[in-house]
């Protein structure tokens, strides 16, 4: 009997602690997001050469048309220069690139809450083509906005001022 009373007493205490923990975390501190490294690496590689139209898909929807125009312009320039094929087949080594989340926040855009990440990249990447390799220093801050379930690059919205 005494054992049952102790189990019940400890059970009630445990349930109460779990309940309080749940209440304290509701609307409390937000979970720290993980840096979407694959997205950042894909963005840097495609942005560096500007000859892959799929780069536009990495941007938020309202910026995609503008980015597509810039890529098409660069493709035409590279066609005339005779470097398009070389750039389309370039590969990248990201082993010296560091990617860190600097901050995350929620901002209202068009009266809707949106999640943002401020991602810092530093170090360098190596771009390899058939003819040579080139070391490219990278020191960039990239702003990401959550669209649906995906992070997308934005160049027009800067929640950090």
- Give the mean pLDDT of the chain: 85
pLDDT in tens, 86-106: 999 999 999 999 999 999 999
Cut 0.85: pTM above it: no
Q: How many helices (H) and strands (E) does the chain have?
A: 4, 5
Tell the CATH topology of 33-154.
Nuclear Transport Factor 2; Chain: A, (3.10.450)
What pLDDT, on the 0 to 100 scale, is given for residue 32?
A: 53
Per domain, the residue ranges of the chain are 33-154
For residue 111, count CB atoms less than 10 angstroms from its CB and return exposed for 0-12, middle for 13-18, buried for 19 or more. Answer: exposed
């Amino acid at each position: 009997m005494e054992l049952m009373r102790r189990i019940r007493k400890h059970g009630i205490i445990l349930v109460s602690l779990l309940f309080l923990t749940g209440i304290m975390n509701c609307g409390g501190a937000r979970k720290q997001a993980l840096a979407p490294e694959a997205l950042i690496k894909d963005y840097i590689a495609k942005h560096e050469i500007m000859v892959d139209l799929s780069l536009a898909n990495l941007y938020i929807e309202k910026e995609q048309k503008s980015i597509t125009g810039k890529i098409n312009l660069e493709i035409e320039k590279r066609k005339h220069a005779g470097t398009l094929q070389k750039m389309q087949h370039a590969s990248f080594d990201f082993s010296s690139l560091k990617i860190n989340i600097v901050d995350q926040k929620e901002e209202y855009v068009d009266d809707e809450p949106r999640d943002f990440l401020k991602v810092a990249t530093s170090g360098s990447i190596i771009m390899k083509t058939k003819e040579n390799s080139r070391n490219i220093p990278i020191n960039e801050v990239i702003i990401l906005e959550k669209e649906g379930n995906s992070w997308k690059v934005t160049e027009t919205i800067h929640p950090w001022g």
